A and B are shown apart, each in its own frame.
Chain A
Amino acid sequence: PPFNDSIKQFTLFGGEKHKNRLKEYLEECRRNDPSFPSWESVTSNECFVDKYGFRYNKSNEYALIHYICQQISIFYKSQPKLKEANLWETRLREWKKSLDPSSEVKSMIRSGILPKYRSEFWKLCIYRQVGDIKKSKGPNYYQFLCNLSNDLPRDIIKFDHQIFLDLFRTLPNNVKFCSKYSQGINQLQEVLRAFCLYNPNIGYCQGMNFIVGIALLFLDPEDAFWCLVAITEKFFLAHYFDCGLVGAQSDQHCLKQLIELKLPDLHYHLKKLDIDISTITLNWFMALFFDALPFETMLRIWDCFLLE
């Protein structure tokens, strides 16, 4: 009934009044940065595609408004940082030379990176972890693995089947990953296969598809491959994604112990309700918060995670 709808709208967005304010903010953003979408372009088409390639259906107005609010928020928050653009470039350049980030650049990143430096920053983080492995494998190693993919050894075939099944179940709402002709789908398959060949003991584990999918939104396939190597071998221990997910399981135990220690109220509450928290938290670890948080929030977590 319309009455209920208007209440819902009122409680969520404050009705037309707040919507109109949003429009004003959006126009202001557009005056400063013409690449901002207009209210009409977001809401009047059947389908709106955001800057990462995610599709929003017109029928899902909540998601659209959330997206607009988030972009406006990012815009205003990054205004002071824009003045520091030169500083960002200097700091990242310094990092490139010294391999390790200075405490200054660390605190800058912690407080939020300027989006246009994200790709470069991720690359610095990744090769800081796996630069030595990459070097030891020699030049064109990734290309070498890709060429092997045409004739896969038998123990890889079972992984390859699962990879194939997951290709279209990774970022189906993103235009780069939605059809078998999409570039993202081919790259995703290429990277996951190459990883199986690189480390047949781990092979493919569901969850990697999300990690690589997100990496490919910011990196080219070779960097995304090394990103996966860094995550599976450096950020996590080697047995994290093994056949029994031993590492992932022990992390869940650690988390539970930490909760008991640091958040005893939560611990007893969960205990009383007989809830095993790993039923909620497993993918916070296995897929680094993918689908557990709004996309932009997840990116901030990735920034901090990769930095450590």
Chain B
Amino acid sequence: MSGKSYQFKIVLLGEGCVGKTSLMLRYVQDKFNDEHLSTIQAAFIKKKIRIGSNSVELAIWDTAGQEKYHALGPIYYRGSNGAFLVYDITDIDSFERIRKWVTELKTSLGDDCILCIVGNKSDLEKNRNVPIKEAEEYAKSVGAKHYSTSAKLNQGVNELFLDISKRMIEKFESSENLESINHQSGNSSNKRNTIQVVDDSVVQQEDKKSGCC
């Protein structure tokens, strides 16, 4: 299993001005710039890293945050192996926005996409408006992992990207194994069935949600 190379796509989603671009630029260029533009055109950067003896090429997609651009999301997140759902710990609305993305990603990408919920701007801890416990519990409830970062102080950023990369490798390997098992047992439609089951459960969740709204 050593010396493999992987290619993964990660998408950054979240409300405007939570720090999506800053997280990406901090990770890829190790820079923090107060002077970057608000993103309307999704930008895309590649970064190669080594994990053990494996090489991983990450294609990182940054997106526009304003709600109006939500409809364009699928263009950017389709085929993603991982997603960062970023909120600003001082802004409760930005956390609420995460829930929308989670539901949408689960519906369109099923369980193929690793979800990470990222509370950015941890340098502004004294102005925190999103209780960390609530965020962590929510992440757990949707099968995502929660991370705290500060793109400004470079805290938790490398760890975030490293962790998602490891998890994407695991996911990839386990689905490969699954596929080869299916192949051996001659049941090639098995994987498709599994995905359909996942879709059903997501639809059910959605029904429940729309019921209570």
Q: Report if A245-B71 is in contact (Cβ < 8 Å); known contacts: A172-B36, A205-B66, A206-B64.
A: yes
- Residue of A206, A242, A279, A292 touching B66 (CB-CB under 8 A): A206
Contact with B along A234-246 (1 / 0, CB 8 A): 0000000111110
CB-defined contacts of A96 to chain B, threshold 8 Å? none
Residue from A206, A242, A249 in contact with B16 in the complex, judged by beta carbons closer than 8 Å: A206
Instruction: Mark the stretch among A38-46, A75-83, A282-290 that contacts chain B.
Output: A282-290
Contact of B69 among A210, A245, A274, A276 (CB under 8 A): A245
Which of under 10, 10 to 19, 20 to 34, or 35 or more describes the interface residues of B? Answer: 20 to 34
A187 part of interface (Cβ distance < 8 Å): no
Q: For B39, give the chain A residue with the smallest CB separation.
A: A206
| B35-A244 in contact (CB<8A) | no
Q: Known A249-B72, A282-B72; judge A162-B41 contact (CB<8 A).
A: no
Supposing A166-B16, A206-B64 touch, asked if A283 and B71 sit within 8 A by C-beta, the answer is no
User: Is B44 an interface residue, CB under 8 A from the partner?
Assistant: yes
User: Which residues of B are found within 8 Å of A166, using beta-carbon distances?
Assistant: 16-17, 38
Question: What chain B residues lie within 8 Å of A112 (beta carbons)?
Answer: none
Q: How many Å lie between the Cα of A280 and that of B41 in the bound state?
A: 7
Contact at A286–B40, with CB atoms within 8 Å?
yes
Q: Which residue of A lies closest to B66 (CB)?
A: A206
With A162-B16, A206-B64 given, is the CB distance from A283 to B75 under 8 Å? Answer: no
Interface residues on A, range: 20 to 34
Residues of chain A in range 267-283 having any CB-CB distance to chain B below 8 Å: 274, 276, 278-280, 282-283
Q: Are A207 and B71 in contact (CB under 8 A)?
A: no
A172 to B41, CA, bound (A): 17
Partner of A165, one of B16, B35, B42: B16
Given contacts A205-B66, A205-B68, A245-B69, contact A279 B42 (CB under 8 A): yes
A71 at the interface (CB under 8 A from B): no
A169 B41 Cβ-Cβ under 8 A = no
Residues B41 and A283 in contact, CB atoms below 8 Å apart: yes
Which residues of chain B are within 8 angstroms of A278 by Cβ–Cβ distance? 72, 75
Q: A166-B16, A169-B36, A172-B37 are in contact. Are A206 and B44 (CB under 8 A)?
A: no
Neighbouring B residues of A242 by C-beta, 8 Å: 68
Supposing A244-B68, A245-B68, A245-B71 touch, asked if A207 and B36 sit within 8 A by C-beta, the answer is no
Is B138 part of the contact surface with A, judged by Cβ < 8 Å? Answer: no
Contact assessment for A283 and B40 in the assembled complex, using a CB-CB cutoff below 8 Å: yes
User: A207-B40, A276-B75, A283-B40 given as contacts; is B69 within 8 A of A165 (CB)?
Assistant: no
B16 / chain A contacts, CB cutoff of 8 Å = 162, 165-166, 206
B76 at the A/B interface (Cβ < 8 Å)?
A: yes
> B68 touching A206 by the CB < 8 A rule?
yes
Give the residue name and chain of the A residue nearest to B68 (CB).
A205
Does A209 lie at the interface of the complex (its beta carbon under 8 Å from any beta carbon of B)? yes
| Closest Cβ–Cβ distance, residue B123 to chain A (whole Å) | 18
Query: B175 CB to closest chain A CB, in angstroms?
Result: 20
CA distance A205 to B66 in the complex (A): 8
- Taking the nearest CB of chain B, how far is it from the CB of A20, in angstroms? 33
A129 at the interface (CB under 8 A from B): no
Report the bound CA distance from A265 to B67 in whole Å: 35
A100 CB–B CB distance under 8 Å: no
Task: Judge if A232 is at the interface, Cβ distance under 8 Å.
Answer: no
Give bound CA distance, A239 to B129, whole Å. Answer: 35
Q: Which of chain B's residues 186-208 have a Cβ closer than 8 Å to chain A? A: none
Q: Are B40 and A287 in contact (CB under 8 A)?
A: yes
Bound together, the chains give a CA A209 to CA B36 distance in angstroms of 14
Bound Cα distance A276, B42 (Å): 12
Which partner residue on chain A sits nearest B35 by CB separation? A172
A209 (CB) vs chain B CBs: closest residue: B38
Contacts of B64 in A (CB 8 A): 206
A232 CA to B8 CA in the complex, in Å?
38
- Answer yes or no: A189 CB below 8 A from chain B CBs: no
A308 to B30, CA, bound (A): 44
Interface residues of B in 42-74 (CB under 8 A from A): 42, 44, 64-69, 71-72
User: For A209, what are the chain B residues with a Cβ–Cβ distance below 8 Å?
Assistant: 38
CB distance from A251 to the nearest CB of B (A): 12
Q: List 8 A-B contacts (CB under 8 A).
A: A172-B36, A206-B65, A206-B66, A243-B67, A245-B71, A276-B75, A278-B75, A282-B72
Q: Which 3 A-B pairs have the closest CB atoms?
A: A283-B41, A172-B35, A169-B38
A interface residues (Cβ-Cβ under 8 A, vs B) = 162, 165-166, 169-170, 172-173, 178, 205-207, 209-210, 241-245, 249, 274, 276, 278-280, 282-283, 286-287, 291-292
By a beta-carbon cutoff of 8 Å, the part of chain B in contact with chain A is 16-17, 34-38, 40-42, 44, 64-69, 71-72, 75-76, 79
